[in-house]
Structure 1
Amino acid sequence: MSFRSPFPDVDIPDTGIYDFLFGSITDAELEIPVFIDGPSGQVTTYGQLIAHINGVAGALAARGVKPGDVVALHSPNVPAFGAVFHGILRAGATATTINALYTAEDIAKQLLDSGAVFLFTVSPLLPQARAGAEQAGLDASRIVVLDGAEGFASLRDLLGELAPAPRVEIDPAEHLAVLPYSSGTTGRPKGVMLTHRNLVANVSQASGLLGEGPQRILAVLPFFHIYGMTVLLNLALRNRSTLVTMPRFDLAEFLRITSENKCTQIFIAPPIAVALAKHPAVDEVDLSSVELVFSGAAPLDANLGHAVEKRLGCIVRQGYGMSEMSPVSQLIPLDRDDVPLDSVGFTVPNMECKLVDPASGDEMPVPEEGTSEPGELWCKGPNIMKGYLGNAEATAETIMDDGFLRTGDMATVSADGVVTIVDRLKELIKYKGYQVPPAELEALLLTHPQIADAAVIGVIDAEGEEVPKAYVVAQQGAELTADAVMEFVAEKVSPHKKVRAVEFIEAVPKSAAGKILRKDLRAREAEAS
């Protein structure tokens, strides 16, 4: 039995993302700061941004870039990201955003797979960008270094050409706007084909639930990730908000920039929530301007969220999504204090979802009261991708004939439509036939005052049984033993969920978006065995 959003459908304009974001801008709004560079304080207004977008689009068109071409953008969060990203789209091309942490080999793979004809990067990332471009056969003349480097065109060079933006006709429902890369539910990274309509739809679906009107937003989550691209960048532009950018996370800088710029909203992943809840430096700055902390990209434990609320005197919310859904499918609205914080809230407007038993393939009923049993979450709506680039097989495995997308995540739904993510279907630990969600144990471990961070995976014990193993980062100066960790968990969970092995590590491996890289921990286990 499927369930829809409890909120009425919203209108989704039949237009490209540039016209959607900037088509109705007023003269007064052109003077509003759109970007403040966190480290330097340099300000960019909406008027300057639009001029830069059009300048980038014109320069690309003058270089032969046309609708259907792919242009790569490899950059951390800097104000120029917005101009180049939307300049690529304004030219009718497709932007493929590359993780700023990628190696040359990773960059080359994405350039080759996407067929990118140009690459924008920044000077600190130029060595790996240039090496990746060489491996992919992309000539150095097709590399633009935003902040300038000898022998390469810069953003200033492109804007100085004053080339007019081209007139481009596109079908928003079919024309690819962005091509982020995602592993999806299985396998190697794949190009996620998102149209202009997908992006317009998801901003429209989420905006009302996250509050409309301008805010001052700390932009530390990477724009190159779909979460930062939609929920930070595009949603902020639509609401005429000001984005205070940080190229990388550093706690001291994070706190300084938030305080000095009086940011009202912070979008984070759970690792930053751990710091906000536990680090003593938080008490040394004035964060009274912060009204909202919104977490995504990985599960946020309710106790951790409430600890942040109490310490900062703000509200904390979380949501759920994936690149293949542009990305948001569920979130807790700002005005709903009654929704459990360990849930991901309600399905966004214009979407239909269902839970499917992964063993039988049968749809699971929505309960008349209480909460359902866990099932794989399937979603359908105008924000669902067209498919994976050049991979019909993976597309067919992910998007069903009736348009539902398999998320690969196990979830429950309550009678009133509140969705709770249990864990990744492929990451559930099977201990003697019982399902053990790693995320549940990780959330519990983080409640221990002497644990700074933790991750859990399934490992094979001496008897050939898969058991939960915790990788633990202890707080500085903590005197903590493996036995103490296991006893702490055992007192609070069912017997089959006990942690049965513990290893202390310096840091939990995580992606730029804050997701635990359990594959790296599994590789560590394989090397040790």
Structure 2
Amino acid sequence: MSDTRPTVSTLLQRWATERPDDEAVRFGATRHTWAQLDERVRRVAAALRAEGVGVGDRVAVLDLNHPSCLELTLACARIGAANAVVNFRLAPPEIVYVINDAKAAILAVGPEFAGAVEQVRDKLPSVRKVLHVGGASDEYEAWLAAHEPDENPYDAAPDDCFVQLYTSGTTGFPKGAMLTHRGMLSHAEHVAHDFALAPTDVVQVAMPLFHVGGMSYALLALGQGARIVMARMPDPATLLDMFADEGITHTFLVPALMGAMTQVPDASARDYSSLRAVSYGASPCPLPVMRASLELFGPKLHQVYGMTEACGVVSSLGPEDHTDPSVAHRLVSAGKPIIGVEIEVRDPESGAPVPAGEPGEIWVRTEQLMSGYWEKPDATASALTDDGWLRSGDGGHIDADGYVFVTDRIKDMIVSGGENVYPAEIERVLAEHPAVADVAVIGVPDERWGEVPKAVVVATPGQEVDADALLAYCREHLASFKCPKSVDVLDELPRNPTGKILKKDLRKPYWEGRERQTV
């Protein structure tokens, strides 16, 4: 190999040799030790080779969480292929696009999606085999059992891609981020250091495996040899019960799920004593949800900021900053870069670093970075610089103490009368209002200022939104130029399949025939 560091395959072999009888994966009633997991992965590798899958090829998985997705990922790593995990929340045309974009030779599909795949089967020319996983029509177990364990692992280089996760952009089709042995194992090492993860710990994989919050978290456990407890779906009550029943020590959640968990009846009666790190991210966390989670779980919260292109987490705000009232302003920050990660804020036009406190685009440099976007050299060149930096597309600043504040996507920034206005800053204030259940702030045309902020809100059940009162509330908490000039009330906000608000759809009616970008 071109590098002496381990690959995902050699790491799995290590745990199978050193700790063969320790439990590796738990999924419902299913239990596999490290030795059993290694054998299953080698059988899957042999089965994939028998199907003609080789170096550089892709397979795809369309399923809710299931250990087979992890096994296929590890088997691809063993034979030099890659698993392109499909976001099951996508619309059918988008699912077809992702599978065809990856040129997947094998498609593993869960029972919930078998009917949908059958309807579009003739639109998937690269797929040679559809493999049914789980349920009454399961073919997966017999398929792997029919092959002897593979004995000839591919001599993978650290920068080989073995898992391909698709970005959930708010416009256009997703791009496949090629994630490598080096990137994923660096991420596992860096995050394990930040979360103090040990081989004796128990990691809950609650989020979907098509997302770095699921796949990277599973591979984080693999990196340390910690036990993985996988949930098929992120049901709030089930996940809370799992904390006590399985002795979970580490988990990753999204704020919407955390909010739902705090509302589960008798949530506070459950035992959370095993928990040491509850990390959360992927979207801004409303302060009321954060406070309720602190009350429920105690001082164990880690707010994380990251991206698919960096295999997951790049910065973290630890428990001490969640509970110290003297630094309460840090609760809206993304914390500091984790070990092994550099973060700078650059001018989005010139690429030059900006002084502390000044806004710009967040740039990231780390061994965790993807090798590029699958078969999209122009997009890769736009995102990755020659000297190893990733242009995140996120706007923000770094304060004098080194804390990273993520404000918005660069394209969502509102320029009003020459002042830069970041919607996320306004949204954080509005989310505190008791009448507001959901909120997005967009820029709309204004003859005097060019554009001004508009708040689009969803009312809390049982309450009505008084637009004038809401605007007055903003004036109490924000500089005047940042305050929305109008309020719209909707039944719900438009979102993409991963839950990100589609601000382009909210902006579109106001910018028809005008020059502002709506993407």
TM-score tier, shorter chain, comes to 0.7 to 0.9
Equivalent in the alignment of 1:46: 34
Q: Say if 1:470 and 1:503, in contact at 8 Å, map to a contact too.
A: yes
Identify the range of structure 1 (168-177 vs 460-469) with the bigger mean alpha-carbon deviation: 460-469
Structure 1's unaligned 5+ residue stretches are 1-11
Superposed displacement of residue 494, structure 1 = 0.9
Equivalent in the alignment of 1:294: 279
Question: Is 2:317 aligned against 1:363?
Answer: no
1:137-152 alignment, distance < 5 Å: 137-139=125-127, 142-147=129-134
Superposed displacement of residue 71, structure 1 = 0.7
Structure 2's unaligned 5+ residue stretches are 515-519
Q: Percent identity?
A: 31
Equivalent in the alignment of 1:502: 487
1:510-529 alignment, distance < 5 Å: 510-511=495-496, 513-522=498-507
Question: Is 2:389 aligned against 1:404?
Answer: yes
Please give the alpha-carbon distance, in whole angstroms, between the structure 1 residues aligned to 2:246 and 2:446. 51
Equivalent in the alignment of 1:3: none
Match of 1:143, SS?
strand
Q: Deviations over 1:390-417 (max 9, x none)?
A: 2222222111222221111122223343
Q: Which of 329, 341, 345 is equivalent to 2:331?
A: 341
Equivalent in the alignment of 1:227: 213
Equivalent in the alignment of 2:404: 419
Superposed CA RMSD in Å reads: 3.0
Equivalent in the alignment of 1:281: 265
Please give the alpha-carbon distance, in whole angstroms, between the structure 2 residues aligned to 1:474 and 1:516. 16
Q: Say if 1:75 and 1:224, in contact at 8 Å, map to a contact too.
A: no
Q: Say if 2:178 and 2:374, in contact at 8 Å, map to a contact too.
A: yes
Superposed displacement of residue 454, structure 1 = 2.2
- Count residues in correspondence: 504
Tell me which amino acid in the other structure corresponds to 2:213.
Y
Q: Deviations over 1:194-241 (max 9, x none)?
A: 2221111211222111112133343221111123211x2111222333
Tell me which amino acid in the other structure corresponds to 2:25.
V
Question: Is 2:110 aligned against 1:117?
Answer: no
Q: Say if 1:101 and 1:512, in contact at 8 Å, map to a contact too.
A: yes
Tell me which amino acid in the other structure corresponds to 2:129.
R
Q: Compute the TM-score of the two structures, normalised by the length of structure 2.
A: 0.87
Superposed displacement of residue 117, structure 1 = 0.9
Superposed displacement of residue 347, structure 1 = 1.8
Tell me which amino acid in the other structure corresponds to 1:353.
I
Do the aligned partners of residues 321 and 280 (structure 1) sit closer, same or farther apart at CA in structure 2, a change above 3 Å counting?
A: closer
Question: Is 2:16 aligned against 1:16?
Answer: no
Q: Which of 190, 194, 201 is equivalent to 1:215?
A: 201
Equivalent in the alignment of 1:4: none
Do the aligned partners of residues 336 and 442 (structure 1) sit closer, same or farther apart at CA in structure 2, a change above 3 Å counting?
A: closer
Equivalent in the alignment of 1:202: 187
Identify the range of structure 1 (312-321 vs 302-311) with the bigger mean alpha-carbon deviation: 302-311
Please give the alpha-carbon distance, in whole angstroms, between the structure 2 residues aligned to 1:55 and 1:262. 30
Match of 1:23, SS?
helix
Superposed displacement of residue 110, structure 1 = 1.3
Q: Deviations over 1:317-349 (max 9, x none)?
A: 111121111232222356766673322222233
Tell me which amino acid in the other structure corresponds to 1:470.
A
Do the aligned partners of residues 79 and 176 (structure 1) sit closer, same or farther apart at CA in structure 2, a change above 3 Å counting?
A: closer
Superposed displacement of residue 492, structure 1 = 1.0
Please give the alpha-carbon distance, in whole angstroms, between the structure 1 residues aligned to 2:265 and 2:440. 24
Equivalent in the alignment of 2:21: 30
Do the aligned partners of residues 498 and 413 (structure 1) sit closer, same or farther apart at CA in structure 2, a change above 3 Å counting?
A: same
Equivalent in the alignment of 1:129: 117
Q: Compute the TM-score of the two structures, normalised by the length of structure 1.
A: 0.86
Q: Which of 294, 308, 314 is equivalent to 1:329?
A: 314
Please give the alpha-carbon distance, in whole angstroms, between the structure 2 residues aligned to 1:74 and 1:178. 14
Please give the alpha-carbon distance, in whole angstroms, between the structure 2 residues aligned to 1:482 and 1:282. 35
Please give the alpha-carbon distance, in whole angstroms, between the structure 2 residues aligned to 1:444 and 1:253. 32
Identify the range of structure 1 (481-490 vs 459-468) with the bigger mean alpha-carbon deviation: 459-468
Please give the alpha-carbon distance, in whole angstroms, between the structure 2 residues aligned to 1:115 and 1:349. 36
Please give the alpha-carbon distance, in whole angstroms, between the structure 1 residues aligned to 2:411 and 2:38. 43
Please give the alpha-carbon distance, in whole angstroms, between the structure 2 residues aligned to 1:329 and 1:304. 22
Q: Say if 1:267 and 1:295, in contact at 8 Å, map to a contact too.
A: yes
Please give the alpha-carbon distance, in whole angstroms, between the structure 2 residues aligned to 1:456 and 1:404. 30
